[in-house]
């Protein structure tokens, strides 16, 4: 608890309710559900406007990887604002920081993904990647390769196209989407595989889903497959072992481009800067990134494109062809300065090694929650996990939405000093990567108490 806070919470709440339309806000929420006003933060902790301290079990929005209040970041950002607070990256214009950051990032990317296109965040990275695929096939005389294959429960963003390739059922109401060229496969969720099927057989089935869809549409009509290595916002669904590699192989077989959306999994969350190759043994054609790219200190996104693809649409043959895509803040110099310092911190503190050391402990410790009657499964990898609440462990029927179980767990956890991310009957955890073993113990302890308290509410 911080006692020296001078925020007027009542006034902030009242003004928020009067004037602010929250992104992803539920417009039907009762006014009694006050906004949660986070005023300050330090290390792995955030403080609400009344000074109540909470361990940030969600790392902002799975983005504050190096933790809060890093003085080195403050300095790097301030220095850049002083030198050059803004410059576009359009056309031939560049800045020392965007060049330096892009070059440094290319040292980490797998295979020949050495061409960096900066954007403003994850949605614009995904959107730009998909538009680059269109540009690539249009420019190389294959304009029919327009179809995009994605998966149910994927989350790729909130622009028109990135939202269209997302597939969380709860997000589909009341908005319009691109439907004629976007195709959703069933989710590769091993927890809900058919009764009696092994995980290997389930993997065969999910790989066949992709191959069959490509054949149904005709390989000559399919441009790309987009996939998060694990489906983060969809409930931290980790596909069966080998799925990523085998789906990548299917894409190569049919000349379908593979976009690996590493907006969540990149920058240390799975113990690597990019998880695609070291963790999942794939070299995609394109990788999208954001969030941990700057640890959320300043918004930034990036698309990493294979030199082979870039080579085919650049140079003499492409003279006069413009890739007409970009944003005022693409590759913002202050964001790139923050990204460079973020990388310095990740490297100098061996944060990747820390995540690799602690990852198993995090998942195994949380797995004890499966002993609770309402917890169907705890799943995840390294420092990202999800607790799924079920009404019946045998049928795996989710706790009904009317029980509001995720939000109840969230409220009880916050009261005990832990922020979790409620999503329906799920509670998601992705703490800053600097979290310690002791803090993990605290997370698990509070989660157990919060789940029990949420169940008590219902009886
Ligand atoms: N892709 C993935 C996998 C994400 O999880 C997200 C956001 O959560 C996005 C893309 C969109 O990123 P942003 O919210 O920065 O636009």
411, 405 contact by CB (below 8 A): no
Percentage of the chain lying above the pLDDT 90 cut: 93
Distance of CA 437 to the CA centre of its chain: 24
Helices (H) and strands (E) in the chain, counts: 14, 16
Residue 32 has pLDDT above 80, yes or no: no
Mutate to test the pocket of ligand 1, among 63, 65, 150, 156 (most ligand atoms within 8 A of CB): 156
The pLDDT of residue 52: 96
pLDDT in tens, 166-190: 999 999 888 999 999 999 999 999 9
pLDDT at 80: 98
Give the mean model confidence (pLDDT) for residues 358-363.
98
CA distances (Å), origin 315, targets 22, 97, 272, 321: 45, 25, 33, 10
Please state whether 236 falls in left (phi above 0), alpha (psi between -120 and 50) or beta: left
Q: Return the pLDDT at 51.
A: 96
Closest-lying ligand 1 atom to the alpha carbon of residue 228? 3
Q: Which atom of ligand 1 is nearest to the CA of 262?
A: 3
- The minimum-distance atom of ligand 1 relative to the CA of 233 is 5
Task: Establish whether residue 121 lines the binding site of ligand 1, counting it when its CB lies within 6 angstroms of any ligand atom.
Answer: yes
For the cut 80, the answer to whether the pLDDT of residue 12 exceeds it is: yes
Q: Is 127 in the pocket of ligand 1 (CB under 6 A)?
A: no
pLDDT of 31 > 70? The answer is no
Amino acid 317: pLDDT = 78
Q: What residue's CA is closest to ligand 1, atom 7?
A: 157
Nearest residue CA, atom 13 of ligand 1? 122
Residue 379 scores a pLDDT above 90: yes
The whole-angstrom distance between residue 334's C-alpha and the CA centroid of its chain comes to 22
CA of 376 to the centre of ligand 1 (A): 26
| Residue 225 pLDDT greater than 70, yes or no | yes
Q: Tell me what ipTM this predicted complex has.
A: 0.99
pLDDT digits (tens, 9 = 90+) for 308-350: 999 999 998 788 889 999 999 999 999 999 999 999 999 999 9
């Amino acid at each position: 608890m911080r006692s020296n806070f001078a925020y007027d919470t009542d006034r902030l709440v009242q003004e928020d309710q009067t004037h602010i339309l929250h992104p992803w806000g539920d417009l039907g929420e009762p006014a009694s559900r006050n906004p949660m006003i986070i005023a300050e933060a330090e290390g792995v902790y955030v403080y609400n406007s009344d000074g109540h301290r909470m361990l940030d079990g969600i790392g902002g929005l799975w983005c504050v990887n190096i933790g809060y209040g890093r003085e080195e970041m403050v300095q790097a950002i301030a220095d850049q604002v002083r030198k050059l607070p803004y410059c576009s990256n359009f056309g031939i214009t560049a800045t020392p920081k965007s060049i330096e950051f892009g070059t440094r990032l290319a040292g980490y990317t797998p295979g020949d993904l050495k061409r960096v296109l900066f954007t403003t965040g994850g949605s614009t990275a995904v959107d730009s990647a998909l538009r680059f695929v269109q540009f690539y096939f249009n420019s190389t005389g294959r304009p029919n390769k327009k179809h995009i294959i994605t998966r149910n429960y994927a989350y790729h963003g909130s622009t028109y196209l990135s939202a269209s390739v997302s597939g969380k059922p709860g997000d589909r109401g009341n908005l319009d989407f691109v439907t004629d060229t976007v195709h959703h496969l069933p989710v590769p969720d091993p927890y809900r595989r058919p009764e009696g099927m092994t995980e290997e057989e389930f993997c065969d089935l999910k790989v066949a889903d992709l191959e069959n869809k490509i054949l149904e549409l005709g390989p000559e009509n399919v441009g790309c497959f987009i996939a998060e290595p694990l489906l983060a916002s969809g409930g931290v669904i980790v596909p069966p072992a080998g799925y990523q590699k085998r789906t990548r192989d299917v894409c190569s077989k049919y000349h379908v481009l593979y976009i690996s959306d590493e907006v969540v999994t990149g920058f240390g969350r799975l113990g690597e800067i990019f998880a695609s190759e070291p963790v999942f043994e794939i070299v995609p054609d394109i990788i999208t990134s954001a969030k941990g790219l700057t640890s959320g200190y300043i918004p930034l996104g990036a698309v990493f494109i294979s030199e082979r693809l870039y080579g085919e649409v650049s140079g003499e043959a492409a003279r006069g062809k413009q890739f007409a895509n970009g944003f005022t803040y693409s590759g913002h110099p202050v964001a790139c300065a923050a990204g460079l310092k973020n990388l310095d911190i990740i490297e100098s503190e061996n944060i990747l090694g820390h995540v690799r050391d602690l990852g198993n402990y995090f998942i195994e410790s949380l797995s004890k929650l499966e002993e609770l009657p309402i917890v169907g499964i705890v799943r995840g990898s390294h420092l990202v996990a999800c607790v799924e609440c079920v009404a019946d462990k045998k049928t795996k029927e989710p706790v009904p939405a009317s029980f509001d179980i995720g939000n109840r767990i969230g409220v009880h956890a916050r009261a005990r000093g832990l922020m979790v991310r409620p999503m329906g009957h799920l509670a998601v955890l992705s703490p800053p990567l600097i979290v310690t073993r002791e803090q993990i113990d605290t997370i698990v302890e509070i989660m157990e108490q919060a789940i029990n308290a949420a169940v008590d509410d219902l009886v």
